[in-house]
Chains A and B, each alone.
Chain A
Amino acid sequence: MKCLSREIIFDYINRELSEDNMKKIKNHLGSCKQCHDIFHHANIQIQRVKAGLDLLSPETIPEMSFCLPQKTKKASQGIISRVFKQRLKLSIEFSWVKAFVFTLLILIFISIFSLRKDREISEEDLQRLLMVADIFYEEDHKVDWNGKELVIVIFDQEKNTLELVRTNMHEGKTSSVQFKVGDENSHLGI
């Protein structure tokens, strides 16, 4: 019999060969010093590595919790349910939680919306602005307020022009466009 490869010897150590091959190799190892040395060395290496791996085992093992499947079934429904179930440990039905969260979100939305409205220009400020515009523009004009923009249209009879002054009260931006009355190229189509 030819000398054995390291892999075969390794398989022999692990008893992963057929019975017939196990016997053949056993006989060979008994008669071949070179192969026996490899066998001996491989055995030592295996024991050394196994002992090393053994050191990596945990010193303590946490206890099992058998409620895992039930918990995970609920938890897998979604992040919100997981948060409510595991962190707050609410005992009420999840559908009620959903309804509560939904209502809460609507209330938050409404309050934010109303706050935004409050921040918009007040009636008193608007009247003041319209008055200033009336005084400032002596020519024929029209002042309009659409809730967002103060629009002043000034008509110059001598030049036959219209000037459109738009002021965004939230952004504080003002733009002005001037065009002749009856000009077909006017983007306003007047």
Chain B
Amino acid sequence: MEFDETYKEYFRPIYIFVYRLIGDQNSAMDITQETFVKLHNYMNGPNSLENPKAWLYRVAANMSNNHLKRNSTFNRIIKDIQTNSQYDNVESDLINIERKALIRKALKKLSSKDRTMLQLYQDGFSYAEIAEIVNIKKTAVGKTLSRAIEKCAKYIER
């Protein structure tokens, strides 16, 4: 698959995936661009790429998690949301903001790997694909996901 085709096909999904992981539009755009820069360089290098989709998601997930570690964006976003919610008068917006804050808090309780797996699951990836991207055994995917969902759901339900 040529770079242009890959770019056209995966730009949007990768951007959404990264955005959901880090919750910041500018950083999500930067990470998405950087992911494709890496892909371009990789494709121009001596190595062949069998599964660009898995490769892209793996690089994007790693970069997003590194970004979160560096900037602790989660804390900032939650703080922003909490601050905004104090002054927001529109009821529906307020509910959405609170829900978003809650789901982000719930995600924060998970490890970066579990968080990534959950986002991939949300994007409809199969166990085999998730295992390839996150680099774990396929047999461990269901168990990990099930626990992550249960943990997340319990936090949301509180």
Contact = CB atoms under 8 A, between A and B. Distances in A.
Interface of A: 6-7, 10-11, 14, 16, 42, 44-46, 48-50, 52-58, 61-62, 64, 66, 68-69, 72-73, 76
B15 A56 contact: no
Nearest to A58: B19
A67 to B, nearest CB: 11
A55 B118 contact: no
A69 B40 contact: yes
B118 A53 contact: yes
B106 A52 contact: yes
A49 B118 contact: yes
Interface string B68-108: 00000000000000000000000000001001101110100
Contacts of A53: 20, 103, 118-119, 122
Contact of A10 (B11, B119, B142): B142
A58 B15 contact: yes
Interface size class of B (residues with CB under 8 A): 35 or more
A13 B102 CA distance: 25
A14 B156 CA distance: 21
B16 interface: yes
B126 interface: yes
Contact of B149 (A11, A49, A62, A68): A49
A45 B102 CA distance: 15
A45 B25 CA distance: 28
B62 interface: no
B25 A10 contact: no
A45 B157 CA distance: 9
Q: Which residue among A48, A50, A54, A68 has the maximum number of chain B CB atoms within 10 Å of its CB?
A: A68
A98 to B, nearest CB: 23
Given A7-B143, A10-B145, A49-B153, 5 more contacts: A49-B152, A62-B15, A66-B4, A68-B7, A68-B40
5 contacts: A49-B149, A49-B153, A52-B102, A58-B19, A68-B40
Contacts of A46: 149, 153
B49 interface: no
Given A7-B143, A57-B16, A69-B40, A52 B11 contact: no
Nearest to A10: B146
Contacts of A11: 127, 142
